[in-house]
Amino acid sequence: MKFNSVYFLLLLTATASVVNSCTPSDREALLTFKSGLTEPYIGLFNSWTGNDCCSNWAGVTCDPTDGRVNDIILRGESEALEKTGRSGYMTGSLSPSLCKLDRLTTLIVADWKTISGEIPACITTLPHLRILDLIGNQLTGSLPSDIGKLTKLTVLNVADNRLTGPVPSSIVDLSSLMHLDLSNNKLSGELPKDIGKLKMMSRALVNHNELTGTIPESISGIYRLADLDLSSNHLTGSIPDKLGSMPVLSTLNLDSNKLSGEIPVSILSNGGLNIVNLSRNGLDGYLPDVFTAGSYFSVLDLSFNKLKGAIPKSLTAARYIGHLDLSNNHLCGSIPLGFPFDHLEASSFDNNDCLCGSPLMRIC
């Protein structure tokens, strides 16, 4: 019996050792991924040696129960790089071998500045992927057309790359998506009309692209959305009135587009909106006189439009307005006295038709 107990313990120990080590197939996939990249400054991949990729391989973590790779987290702007006094640079491309890591939940290869090539199309076959963060590289090509297959994805961040093509229509099938950042690319075409299906999304940043078409009204149905940035595109049409009724929206950046029509009353009367930038469009009509003691704007920028009429006197009732810019419109009449006008620069009112009344401007 004693021999059998010792034998059992040895067998158990050996089994645990196997479970806690990296599987050969995952190790091979990681080494193929590594072979497509070069990182010359800090020797990030120097730790990728030996048979067990679950032990001390920089940026790699595994599930302790089965030794399968769960996370790859490689950031170019990291504490290790800051200690060297360098910014992160890594060249090469993302190998499709990543798609063999079918237990992957997190893939972060971010801020390396010179990683190029395309996003492997097979990445949409990773059924457990929750975080895909490839920000700050030089990736080209388009987003995979069937990206909607990643139904567990909560973060999709491919900002600051050189991606082209459309926003895939299947993106609306990412039912768990909370954070979407496609900014600073060259994406074109229209936003999917049914983008409002992304009910879990709290941030949608699609600024600095080449998008055309109108702002989908369905966005207003994303009740968790707090930040919406569609600035610096080629969007046309009017601003959907329902955007102003979104319950938790606090930042709305629609500047530098080709939007027209009047500013919806609902946007300026929404007490939850904190940053509103509608500048550099073709908005016209009068400024709604709807400000109250509940109005609180850190930024309210309506400059470079075609607004006319007087500045609403109700602006003086606002609880707080930090930065207000009404310049380069067709406003006329007296500038109201008191807060916030008593702390604004004359440049906030420059290049209007006939504004007057502020100590910094001509008297009526």
Q: CATH no. for residue 52? A: 3.80.10.10
CA angle 129, 110, 207 (to 5 degrees): 90
Structure tokens that stand for 158 in this block = 């491919």
Question: In degrees to the nearest 10, what's the CA dihedral of 359, 361, 363, 364?
Answer: -130
Q: What distance in Å separates the CA atoms of residue 185 and residue 140, rounded to the nearest whole number? A: 9
Q: What distance in Å separates the CA atoms of residue 72 and residue 57, rounded to the nearest whole number? A: 10
Q: How confident is the model over 286-296, as pLDDT tens digits?
A: 999 999 988 99
Q: What distance in Å separates the CA atoms of residue 356 and residue 54, rounded to the nearest whole number? A: 70
Question: In degrees to the nearest 10, what's the CA dihedral of 118, 235, 146, 24?
Answer: 40
Does 266 map to a domain?
A: yes
Q: Which residues of the chain have pLDDT under 70?
A: 1-20, 78-88, 357-364
Does 46 map to a domain?
A: yes
pLDDT of residue 243: 96
pLDDT of residue 364: 53
Alpha helices (H) in 172-302, listed in sequence order: 265-268
Does 202 map to a domain?
A: yes
Does 146 map to a domain?
A: yes
For residue 28, the Cα-to-chain-centroid distance in whole angstroms is 33
Question: In degrees to the nearest 10, what's the CA dihedral of 144, 159, 180, 281?
Answer: -110
pLDDT of residue 3: 39
Does 3 map to a domain?
A: no
Range of the domain at 87: 26-356
pLDDT of residue 344: 81
pLDDT of residue 15: 39
Q: Report the DSSP beta bridge partners of residue 324.
A: 300
Q: Report the DSSP beta bridge partners of residue 107.
A: 72, 132
pLDDT of residue 85: 58
Q: What distance in Å separates the CA atoms of residue 192 and residue 194, rounded to the nearest whole number? A: 5
Does 2 map to a domain?
A: no
Does 9 map to a domain?
A: no
The number of folded domains in the chain is 1
Which residues are CB-neighbours of 49 under 8 A, at least 6 positions away? none
> Residue 113 is which amino acid?
K
pLDDT of residue 42: 82
Question: What's this model's pTM, rounded to 2 decimal places?
Answer: 0.90
pLDDT of residue 41: 81
Does 234 map to a domain?
A: yes
Q: Report the DSSP beta bridge partners of residue 327.
A: none
